[in-house]
Amino acid sequence: MSTETKDHAALADDFNKDEDRVDWHDETLWWIRQKRDKAVNKLPDWELLRDTASAIKDNVLSNLSVYLQEFEAKAQNNGIIIHWAANAEMHNKIVLDLLKAKGIRQMVKSKSMLTEECHLNEYLENNNIEVIDSDLGERIVQLAKEPPSHIVLPCIHKKKEEIGELFHLHLGTDKGNSDPQYLTETARQHLRNIFITRRASLTGVNFAIAQTGEFVVCTNEGNADMGAHLADIHIASMGVEKIIPERKHLGVFLRLLTRSATGQPITTYSSHYSKPRDSKEIHVIIVDNGRSKQLGRADFRNSLKCIRCGACMNTCPVYRRSGGHSYHNAISGPIGAILAPNLDMEKFADLPFASTLCGSCSNVCPVKIDIHQQLYKWRQVIVQNGYAPAAKKAAMKLMSITLSSPFLYHTSGKAGRMVLRFAPFAVNNRFNPWFKQRDMPAPPDQSFGEWYAKNR
């Protein structure tokens, strides 16, 4: 991607050059938000479920090391092999070493945002390992050589005609045929062959249960199971925050996850993995990659409660009109904007500003992360760390001086209204981003302060 040097505003500006496409993207995601609303309104206890999930996750974050060690011990008793990775590089190397040790050069992978975060595919391909993504949406963006634009709906930015063209090029479908049934059947046949022939399979982890040492992977396509059941070695990558204390807590999270994500009552497949079958191996890689650093940031630690449902993206009026790629990060949208600056504050300094702070994200969040409050707080941290543009710093300083003095405020207010009245060209030009697509307010004869002095 050639997006590395552009910030969110510039990438969003590009996306908005095709307004019909923006409308289509907005309406598609709004439709999912509406499905979510219908589903959650069928549960009278919805808000209680959110409170409960939030409390469970708060407990997890306060006792993380205890639960992780409990999980490790139980999983090892079950015959699962546990690895610990401090960062993305270590995670990727563990995967590569496991494959090399078995002489495996091809792997099938179900959806895992953690491996996107670690850029695992790129790393393995550079080491001559072929990776095929088996989630349909992920396979589509993989064929398009693009990153996913959404954590639950990776190719939501692609129209079916574009997918038809990709399948024609890569999977040999008829040119111009974009019938969803036809394309899906083609993908199904293509992936069947992959599942049958791959000896290694990698999955993500939605929930790891400390009490039992088992883990749960949620998919709608059954692709995690197809890969894991047929392979000799199943590698599961999990962030440290995926742990939950007890199996009974699944009843809370499974009810919340898919209702929030797509409006379904539950994922089609919620697969429990507890021990390897004879002569097979299960490896779980527990990854930190900045999470313990985020845990140490008092204002931002509860972002680690996230269960990756994507509801904040579907509801976000900015995300719907700027597209996932405008966030130039594996995890886009509001949650991405509060997670990314922890990993690289300079590179992602723009993201917390890509919001109107409307607060809808915090309201849909099934684990009650105060997303919009954290966006506000990240703005302060980013400026304090010196990542604000110089022009903005100067403007803010001037604004602060003016607004701190009633005399300067009244004089400059009057001057501003005079300019608008008698020299509108000084304001209404292409250098004023307000004026580009909006008229300036008509300047009144007098301010309220002036009126009040005369009339009261």
Partner 1 sequence: MKVGLFIPCYVDQFYPGAAIATLQLLEKLGVDVSYPKNQTCCGQPMANSGFAHLTGGCDKLFTESFRHFDYIVAPSGSCVLHIKEHLHSTENADDAASIRNKIYELSSFLTDILQVESLPARFPFKVGVHQSCHGQRGLYLSQMSELVAPGFSKPGKLLNMVEGIDIVQLNRPDECCGFGGTFCVAEEAVSVKMGKDRVEDHLSHGAEYITGVDMSCLMHMEGILRRQGSKVKVIHLAEILNSYQ
Q: Scanning residues 31 to 90, which ones bind partner 1 (CB under 8 A)?
A: 37, 40-41, 43-44, 46-47
The binder of partner 1 chosen from 158, 159, 199, 321 (CB under 8 A): 321
The footprint of partner 1 on residues 361-380 (CB under 8 A) is 362-364, 376, 379-380
Contact 285, 237 (CB under 8 A): yes
The binder of partner 1 chosen from 75, 360, 369, 371 (CB under 8 A): 360
Task: Find where tokens 């700027």 sit.
Answer: 322
**What span, in angstroms and rounded, lies between the C-alpha atoms of 236 and 252?**
23
- Rounded to the nearest 10 degrees, how much is the dihedral formed by the CA atoms of 359, 13, 329, 257? 40
> What burial class does residue 16 get, using C-beta atoms within 10 Å of its C-beta: 0-12 exposed, 13-18 middle, 19+ buried?
middle
Give whichever of 79 and 413 is closer to partner 1, judged by the CB atom.
413
Give whichever of 37 and 161 is closer to partner 1, judged by the CB atom.
37
Number of residues that bind partner 1 (CB under 8 A): 74
Sign of the torsion angle spanned by Cα atoms 89, 92, 98, 102? negative
Q: Of 19-27, 101-109, 142-150, 204-212, which part binds partner 1 (CB under 8 A)?
A: 19-27
Main-chain phi, psi angles of 385, to 5 degrees: -85, 5
User: 207: helix, coil or strand?
Assistant: strand
Helix (H) or strand (E) holding 233: strand 233-239
Give whichever of 84 and 387 is closer to partner 1, judged by the CB atom.
387
Give whichever of 100 and 410 is closer to partner 1, judged by the CB atom.
410
First-residue to last-residue Cα distance in the chain: 62
Q: Of 52-60, 61-69, 215-223, 405-413, which part binds partner 1 (CB under 8 A)?
A: 405-413
Give whichever of 76 and 434 is closer to partner 1, judged by the CB atom.
434
Quick check: 383 binds partner 1 (CB under 8 A)? yes
Give whichever of 172 and 406 is closer to partner 1, judged by the CB atom.
406
Bridge partners of 216, per DSSP, are 207, 272
Quick check: 172 binds partner 1 (CB under 8 A)? no
The binder of partner 1 chosen from 108, 141, 202, 354 (CB under 8 A): 354
The binder of partner 1 chosen from 3, 6, 28, 30 (CB under 8 A): 30
Helix (H) or strand (E) holding 368: none
Q: What share of the chain is helix, strand, coil (3-state, %, to 5)?
A: 55, 10, 35
> What burial class does residue 101 get, using C-beta atoms within 10 Å of its C-beta: 0-12 exposed, 13-18 middle, 19+ buried?
exposed
Quick check: 440 binds partner 1 (CB under 8 A)? yes
Give whichever of 278 and 439 is closer to partner 1, judged by the CB atom.
439
Quick check: 16 binds partner 1 (CB under 8 A)? yes
Q: Which two tokens stand for residue 101?
A: 């040790």
**What span, in angstroms and rounded, lies between the C-alpha atoms of 180 and 326?**
27
Q: Of 152-160, 170-178, 243-251, 350-358, which part binds partner 1 (CB under 8 A)?
A: 350-358
Quick check: 127 binds partner 1 (CB under 8 A)? no
Q: Of 65-73, 177-185, 198-206, 313-321, which part binds partner 1 (CB under 8 A)?
A: 313-321
From residue 44, alpha-carbon distances to 8, 30, 31, 34, 259 in Å are 38, 23, 22, 17, 13
Tell me the closest approach of the beta carbon of residue 343 to partner 1, in angstroms: 19
Quick check: 454 binds partner 1 (CB under 8 A)? no
Give whichever of 2 and 437 is closer to partner 1, judged by the CB atom.
437
Contact 330, 112 (CB under 8 A): no
User: 141: helix, coil or strand?
Assistant: helix
Give whichever of 143 and 383 is closer to partner 1, judged by the CB atom.
383
**What span, in angstroms and rounded, lies between the C-alpha atoms of 65 and 59?**
11
The binder of partner 1 chosen from 203, 219, 315, 342 (CB under 8 A): 315
Quick check: 388 binds partner 1 (CB under 8 A)? yes
Quick check: 18 binds partner 1 (CB under 8 A)? no
Tell me the closest approach of the beta carbon of residue 186 to partner 1, in angstroms: 35
Quick check: 417 binds partner 1 (CB under 8 A)? yes
User: 248: helix, coil or strand?
Assistant: helix
Tell me the closest approach of the beta carbon of residue 411 to partner 1, in angstroms: 12
Bridge partners of 130, per DSSP, are 106
Quick check: 392 binds partner 1 (CB under 8 A)? yes
